[in-house]
Copies of this chain bind each other. A is one copy, B any other.
Amino acid sequence: MDIVEILKLYSEDVDKEISKTLSTLQPDTLREASEYLTEAGGKKIRPALAVLSCQAVGGSTDKALKAAASLELIHTFSLIHDDIMDNDDMRRGKPAVHKVWGEPLAILTGDTLFSKAYEILIRTVDDNVSYEKVIDSLYLLVDACIKICEGQVQDMSFEDTFDVTSEEYMEMIYNKTGALITVATSMGGIIGGATPEQIEVLRTYGKNVGLAFQIQDDYIDLTGDESIGKPVGSDLVEGKKTLMVVTALERASSEDRDRFVELLEAHDESIIPEAMDILNKYDAIEYAKDTAYNYIDEAKKAVDILPDSDARKSLCDLADYVLSRSI
């Protein structure tokens, strides 16, 4: 099966789990707001990573489905709270949760999905997964949640400075995005009965895929698709410190750097063409793309030592897919 079909397949299974766990929420407004973004789609990369990692070490799909759902719920919770904090209007082609129901309900909806993520992961004990494995998985999930918050605060702290190194940027995106993707693979491995060495391999794979994923996300913003509700180049208008921007700031001549800072401080769409020229002059976009490709290579190399299987092949395909996607 090709990777797009696999993503679709597990997406359906995971949506069923999510739909079941959210169906009991009361009052109706809270349930509707909680179901809203899940019903709006999403690529479901984290759930697929968990299921494939479980399979790649010989585990069965059904044992990993609740863990997969928990990862998607945490991801959705963080999107809802992020959209409030960034005051973003749109998400997955629809008005953001706080735009539909207001900020108070959006905060509570995020908190509810966060709780539901833990609930469903705890319930993995009902699928004949040992208490110890569930505790280990919970510990990984909570660690990723803390890192998501830390990464978000780091990202916010970058707003007021142009002295962000690419190392600081990489640490931030690891926390904000990479940690949960890393947990998806290691949790899948734990539930599938992986050896400590296999878990380490899956962790390495997940970390590299996660870093490439965020770089690609920022890359798509520069080149991407207006259909998802985000105008092309909006990160430049917001003055966001992406790997491209950080690289150009590090490489530019003093004169170009000053001009680039001026453009990023303008917060106006008219700066996009000139800012793009500076990014291109210092090969910043090419550098980011190369960096992402290197991470994907590392990811694929890491899983080489796992037994040959369809799941291992799909993990490699999924790594490639992360860079080929345009949304």
Contact = CB atoms under 8 A, between A and B. Distances in A.
Interface string A138-160: 11001101101110111011000
Interface string A96-140: 000000011101101110111011001001000011101100110
A254 interface: no
A25 B122 contact: no
A81 interface: yes
A18 to B, nearest CB: 14
Give the number of copies in the complex: 2
A273 interface: no
A199 interface: no
Contact of A105 (B111, B118, B135, B153): B153
B30 A150 contact: yes
A131 B133 CA distance: 10
Given A26-B150, A111-B148, A131-B132, 17 more contacts: A26-B154, A27-B153, A30-B149, A81-B107, A81-B111, A84-B104, A105-B153, A108-B152, A108-B153, A110-B111, A111-B149, A112-B146, A112-B150, A115-B142, A115-B146, A122-B138, A138-B138
